[in-house]
Amino acid sequence: MRHGTAPRRPLPLSVALFVALGAAACGHRGADDPALRALARILQPGDRVVLARTLDPDADDRFVAVVRTAAGKPELRLYERTGGRRDYVLAHKEQQGDEFHNLVLEDVDGDGREEIVTTWTGGHLELLDVIARGADGSYRSLFQNAGQEIERRYGQGGVVEFWITSRTYQEQAGQPPTYDTVVYRWDGKKFSEVPKKR
Q: 63 phi and psi, to 5 degrees?
A: -150, 160
Each residue's pLDDT tens digit, 119-156? 999 999 999 999 999 888 899 999 999 999 999 999 88
Residue 98's pLDDT is: 92
CB 55 within 8 A of CB 63: yes
Residue 30's pLDDT is: 54
Separation CA 175–CA 99 (nearest Å): 31
Separation CA 93–CA 115 (nearest Å): 15
CB 35 within 8 A of CB 151: no
Residue 9's pLDDT is: 38
pTM over 0.95: no
Separation CA 50–CA 52 (nearest Å): 7
Q: 98 phi and psi, to 5 degrees?
A: -80, -30
Q: Is the pLDDT of residue 10 over 60?
A: no
